[in-house]
């Protein structure tokens, strides 16, 4: 999501539903929540396009299928929702053969089985370029966790590691064989739905998935909550995936923080809930949870929406342009 | 949907969910039905691609936005479901300007307002070609009306007129200015959700929307129900939109029947329910309902899935290839 895209979302907001009894969460979060047949249904949609979001050089068709499921499950996870079912829009170019399409569906089915998603249908359209869109439906055990609920005094927590996918791309671009673990993180990203449910259950006040880079997504949380986030540089560095500093070289921390496609979960919690959250996320069994900062009020010249790394460094824009 | 696509759906069925308590309707109908948070939620997805489903020569961006909403509302209508909310995947090429994107959303918003759909979010991705995918969520008042419930003795009914969109395309291809009403039917098709709800309420046993052409979609109903459909040639001819015979010239009835994009609803009903259905569809206020045939058992050398026009003409394949 680029800055230009946010402008467009603002301009188009008049066409899109804001909050209402029928639409508990409208445009502008990781997913929308709609009241249908008496239930609150979480809806998210993400599309991937060849040459923009993936290349055949790095990802085989099964990887592409896996990824389009994972990115949507990650969005649902960030609402504290349980993924349930998905429909697919496959844009199929002439050079995508039968075996490729089968492999694409195999990869989707693997990811869907892993995260309990039923693939219930879809549309295949002839197209000049290969793209896959997926819409995921998820359900809630309690209220959705939006981006906007962070309160001063909350602790900022991160579940998952940063920089592995970025490191694979940098190595590939440099003609160096990527670290296998980094390549796997790029090809077969791991979404964290059990972690998202656990964080929601222990009272997360706000949550977002780190898809555009920690810096960029932290700024979304800060802006939506009208607060400032103070991140601890050492804690952020400790959340970088193993081997990433070596793979990225100089500036590794900025690259890891900005790289995106981490599918980690960034959340805020009341300070007295952090110990319970660490235990609950541990029980969920996906990744460990790390406290990486604090939520502060906008004051002393620091404005709502700002993210600070230590006391002297404000993060302006560190995000990978997926648009 | 092409014959090749149906083969693929069969091959891929092992990856997709069939019926289960969690998935009351799986792949192979106009929409899927999924149990989410205790509610039965209807899900449909349709994508349109420039050069395949629309051209800028005939449709402006607002028309494209209208159409992608209409095709999905039509799918929901064919389940007897009430459209509620949608998410959008916009594949945006570099030559689709800001004003075009605004107009696209304007057209979507107009159609959404007309049919009570909340546009709750979406994803914009950079792409080489212009495409728009839309996923619609709808709710049910009663059991969904599937394609498979037609029973011998039922009456076949059609709501809506045939051939207008096809006539506009034929005229355009011939360099003749299309009839304005036909062009409007192509650019701004009318979905029939109130009609679909009315037909469901009066006990329709099966329903499908006529998107691929009456002949093709009637065969889907016949195949899914394991029955034969006997259509009355005069009644089918009477369901053709005004001006279509003149616009299509010789062979107008075959062209009208095969043209597709009619977004009419084809349903089956117990014979003693037809009068109530005609009244209920009249009250819905969208279009009139016409009885156009009967459902028969496969017998006397006629096989399940066949559609007959009168006693001597079997419809083999008359459908427009959207794939």
- How confident is the model over B152-192, as pLDDT tens digits? 999 999 999 999 999 999 999 999 999 999 999 999 999 99
Beta-sheet strand order (sheet of B118-126): B32-36, B39-49, B131-140, B81-92, B118-126
pLDDT (0 to 100) of residue B318: 52
pLDDT computed for residue A14 by the predictor: 64
CB contact under 8 A, A39 and B37: yes
Model confidence at B30, pLDDT cuts 50, 70, 90, reads confident
Is the pLDDT higher at B8 or at B265? B265
Assign B28 a pLDDT band (cuts: 50, 70, 90): confident
Side-chain-facing half-sphere of A102: CA atoms under 13 Å: 8
Which of B15, B43, B119 lies closest to A16 in CB terms? B119
Q: Is the pLDDT of residue A321 over 70?
A: no
Would you call B133 and A120 a contact, using CB atoms and an 8 Å cutoff? no
In the predicted structure, residue A225 carries a pLDDT above the cut 90: yes
Distances (CA, A) of B220 to B166, B192, B210, B267, B318: 20, 19, 10, 11, 12
Tell me if ipTM is over 0.95.
no
Query: What residues of chain B lie within 8 A of the CB of A123, using their CB?
Result: 45-47, 133
pLDDT at residue A259 tops 90: no
Among A240-254, A299-313, B61-75, the range of highest mean pLDDT: B61-75
pLDDT range class, residue A13, cuts 50, 70, 90: low
Chain B residues near residue A55 by CB distance under 8 angstroms: none
The Cα A73–Cα A116 span in angstroms is: 10
| Inter-chain touch A85–B32, beta carbons under 8 Å | yes
The three-class DSSP label of residue A250 is coil
Residue A106 reports pLDDT greater than 90: yes
Q: Is the Cβ–Cβ distance between B196 and B81 less than 8 Å? A: yes
pLDDT averaged over every residue in chain A = 90
- Tell how strand A81-92 and strand A118-126 pair up: parallel
Nearest to A85 among B23, B108, B121 (CB): B23
Among A250-254, A277-281, B213-217, which is the least confidently predicted range?
A250-254
CB contact under 8 A, B45 and A108: no
Select the residue from A36, A52, A111 to test the B interface by mutation, using most B Cβ atoms within 10 A: A36
Nearest by CB to A135, from B48, B87, B102: name it: B87
Chain-chain contact of A52 with B84 (C-beta, under 8 angstroms): no
pLDDT band at B14 (very low <50, low <70, confident <90, very high): low
B319 pLDDT higher than 80: no
Among A110, A120, A138, A320, pick the best mutation site for testing chain B contact (most B Cβ within 10 A): A120
Mean pLDDT of A177-201: 96
Selected for mutation to probe chain B from A14, A47, A100, A143 (highest B CB count within 10 Å) is A47
Is residue A88 predicted with pLDDT exceeding 70?
yes
- Å between B212 CA and nearest CA of chain A: 14
Counting one residue from chain A and one from chain B, the pairs whose CB atoms sit within 8 A come to: 226
What is the model's pTM?
0.89
Mean pLDDT in residue range B12-38 = 80
Q: Which residue has the tokens 């700024």?
A: A219
Contact state of A41 with B45 under an 8 Å Cβ cutoff: no
Measured between CB atoms, which of B38, B40, B89 is closest to A133? B89
To the nearest whole Å, the CA of B153 is away from the closest chain A CA by: 31
Split at pLDDT 50, 70, 90, the class of A318 is low
Q: Do B52 and A127 touch (CB under 8 A)?
A: yes
User: Cβ contact (<8 Å) for A32 and B120?
Assistant: yes
Answer whether B84 sits within 8 Å of A124, measured CB to CB: no
Q: Residue A316 — φ and ψ, nearest 5°?
A: -90, -70
- Residue A77: per-residue pLDDT: 97
Angle between helices A3-12 and B98-114 (to 10 degrees): 40
Q: What's chain B's average pLDDT? A: 90
* Ranges A8-17, A46-55, B121-130: which has the least confidence: A8-17
In this prediction, residue A231 carries a pLDDT of 96
Residues of chain B with pLDDT > 70, as a percent, come to 93
């Amino acid at each position: 999501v680029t800055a230009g895209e946010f402008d467009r979302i603002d301009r188009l907001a008049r066409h899109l539903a804001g909050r209402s009894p029928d639409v508990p969460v409208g445009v502008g979060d990781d997913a929308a929540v709609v009241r249908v047949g008496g239930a609150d249904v979480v809806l998210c949609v993400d599309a991937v396009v060849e040459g923009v979001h993936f290349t055949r050089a790095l990802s085989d068709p099964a990887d592409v299928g896996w990824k389009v499921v994972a990115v949507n499950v990650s969005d649902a996870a960030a609402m504290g929702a349980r993924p349930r079912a998905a429909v697919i829009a496959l844009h199929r170019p002439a050079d995508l053969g039968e075996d490729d399409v089968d492999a694409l569906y195999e990869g989707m089915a693997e990811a869907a089985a892993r995260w309990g998603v039923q693939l219930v249908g879809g549309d295949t359209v002839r197209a000049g370029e290969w793209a896959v869109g997926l819409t995921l439906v998820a359900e809630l055990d309690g209220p959705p966790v939006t981006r906007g609920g962070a309160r001063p005094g909350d602790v900022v927590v991160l579940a998952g590691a940063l920089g592995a996918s970025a490191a694979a791309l940098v190595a590939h671009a440099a003609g160096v064989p990527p670290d296998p673990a980094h390549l796997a993180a790029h090809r077969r990203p791991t979404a964290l739905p059990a972690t998202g449910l656990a964080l929601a259950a222990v009272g997360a006040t706000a949550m977002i998935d780190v898809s555009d880079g920690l810096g960029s997504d932290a700024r979304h949380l800060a802006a939506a909550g009208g607060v400032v986030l103070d991140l601890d540089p050492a804690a952020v560095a400790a959340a970088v995936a193993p081997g990433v500093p070596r793979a990225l070289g100089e500036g590794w921390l900025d690259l890891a923080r900005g790289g995106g496609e981490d599918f980690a979960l960034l959340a805020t919690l009341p300070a007295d809930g952090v110990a319970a959250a660490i235990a609950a996320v541990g029980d969920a069994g996906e990744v460990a949870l790390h406290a990486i900062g604090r939520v502060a009020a906008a004051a002393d010249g620091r404005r709502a929406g700002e993210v600070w790394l230590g006391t002297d460094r404000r993060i302006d824009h560190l995000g990978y342009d997926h648009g």
